[in-house]
Amino acid sequence: MNRIDLEGRVAVVTGGGQGIGLAVAQRCASSGAKVAIWDMNAETAVRAANTIAEAQAFTVDIADASSVAATLADVEVALGPVDILVNSAGIAGPNHRLSDYPDVDWKRVIDINLNGTFNVNKAVTKGMEARGYGRIVNIASIAGKEGNPNAAAYSAAKAGVIALTKSLGKELAGQNIAVNCITPAAARTPIFDQMTQTHIDYMLSKIPRGRFLEVEEVASMVAWLVSEENSFTTGAVFDLSGGRATY
């Protein structure tokens, strides 16, 4: 495994208690960063932080802007100014046809996956702009490019994350702040517990590699994107779909 240099950096990883977020947190820490693991589930966050040197756990609801602001302030007291944000927190929501999609579930998926991304990006960029440095990676999805049937809320939210990333990347392009996103295919993480087996089988059938994405593969790409070496690329979408997307 190549070691990316993140020495002296402070990284916030939302959804860092499990799945992709946990793999990213581990990779950032092994590259020298101090890591703040943000998760809605306090127990999950603490358990993850206890397995990673230089990591601390913080309980936060990213859909609540006041919770994000308060938690960011706590991180900066405990670890220092935030240089890196990897926004991995998200939910799949239930699988339904759009005509049957429950309003409450639609709102929750949008609130966490899209509005939560807005809240966290807005909070951290203020400090990054003031200090003249920052690296942000938002975790979107191949569903945001192509749309998955019976997953309209998730697909729409992730499409919004892609557009938000492109917009913010352009806004901050004149500074040493890179804002990018990745569009993974499905990885076998606890988010599968929210999906039907039919939907899981559909996602696998669309991946030319013939297997699900490994979370360590995500962490490898993210590690470079949040490093100082990524000094030019911003507002970009990096594909991790195993060949599903060709654009």
Q: The tokens of 9 are what?
A: 């950096």
Residue count of the chain: 247
Residue 96 near residue 149, CB atoms below 8 Å: no
Catalytic entry in 133, 154, 202, 247: 154
Residue 4 near residue 26, CB atoms below 8 Å: no
154 carries an active-site annotation: yes
- Which residues belong to the active site? 154
